[in-house]
């Protein structure tokens, strides 16, 4: 990827929807994924192979993956917590999966009921089988800039988990500010520290907008060398451990940010805004991104 281009990983159909109270039918989720691809997004999280008992919003992810099929130049990914989830993803034709760890011991125990070390050990056979099958694996690290239970998270802990996932075979590690408490300076320091152990080209940023810092943190990570960012159409989602959190940074805002600086995203912003209107209506939600609201006001 050119250094004057950015790759946006659209997580609205997975990380976004799974944190919205309303469960959408498979038909609507398929329509969302296909419309996102029509906008020019080339990496789209389409589902998660997790227990529908705990995450009912992701039930039927196998059907979503099968129905969207394959589109040239587009990668549809899915989250897998273990070997069983990987097998389901493979059966659905998924060619890229993601695993998730935490940089905070307290968050790891609360979120996936095991220690960081145990979670990493659980991923070893997942990585081995996925790579054997020619399936790429992406890693997520949550709570990189703060934990809802313990507050500050040592940078060294984030680096250690990031390094472990990379050594295990994750081609890319997404660093997640799960509760949205990060600042640009802290973000820059974190990226520099992680880039001392893994190539900066293997790092991605995943920022939440709880304190209105997401776009600023993206810019700081960009300046530190990161060229891949997760985002969610219309800012879908949130964090169940952070009441009042406004969720993932909106894809519309990152397209506006980068295109305004001459950095190519490959995404049609007008089409993307319409996708946001579509999914907000399906969720009966009034959650347009600030960019979408501002541009609509100008058009009127």
Asked whether the beta carbons of 101 and 165 are under 8 A apart, the reply is: yes
| Whether residue 239 lies in the annotated active site | yes
Q: Which residue in 94, 143, 194, 239 is the catalytic one?
A: 239
Q: Which residues are catalytic?
A: 239
């Amino acid at each position: 990827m050119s250094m004057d281009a950015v790759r946006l990983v659209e997580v609205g159909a997975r990380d976004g929807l799974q944190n919205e109270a309303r469960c959408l039918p498979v038909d609507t989720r398929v329509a969302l994924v296909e419309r996102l691809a029509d906008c020019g997004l080339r990496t789209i999280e389409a589902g998660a192979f997790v227990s529908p008992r705990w995450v009912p919003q992701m039930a039927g992810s196998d059907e979503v993956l099968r129905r969207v099929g394959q589109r040239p130049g587009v990668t549809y990914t899915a989250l897998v917590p273990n070997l069983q989830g990987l097998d389901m993803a493979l059966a659905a034709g998924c060619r890229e999966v993601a695993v998730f760890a935490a940089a905070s011991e307290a968050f790891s125990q609360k979120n996936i009921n095991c220690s960081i070390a145990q979670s990493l050990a659980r991923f070893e056979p997942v990585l081995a089988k996925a790579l054997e099958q020619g399936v790429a694996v992406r890693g997520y690290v949550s709570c990189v800039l703060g934990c809802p239970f313990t507050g500050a998270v040592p940078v060294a802990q984030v680096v250690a988990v990031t390094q472990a996932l990379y050594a295990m075979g994750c081609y890319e590690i997404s660093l997640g500010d799960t509760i949205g408490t990060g600042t640009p300076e802290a973000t820059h320091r974190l990226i520099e520290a992680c880039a001392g152990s893994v190539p900066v080209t293997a790092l991605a940023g995943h920022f939440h907008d709880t304190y209105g810092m997401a776009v600023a943190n993206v810019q700081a990570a960009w300046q530190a060398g990161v060229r891949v960012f997760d985002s969610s159409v219309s800012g879908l989602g949130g964090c169940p451990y952070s009441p009042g959190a406004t969720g993932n940074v909106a894809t519309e805002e990152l397209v506006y940010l980068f295109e305004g600086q001459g950095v190519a995203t490959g995404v049609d912003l007008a089409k993307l805004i319409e996708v946001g209107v579509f999914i907000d209506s399906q969720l009966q939600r009034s959650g347009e991104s600030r960019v979408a609201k501002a541009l609509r006001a100008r058009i009127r």
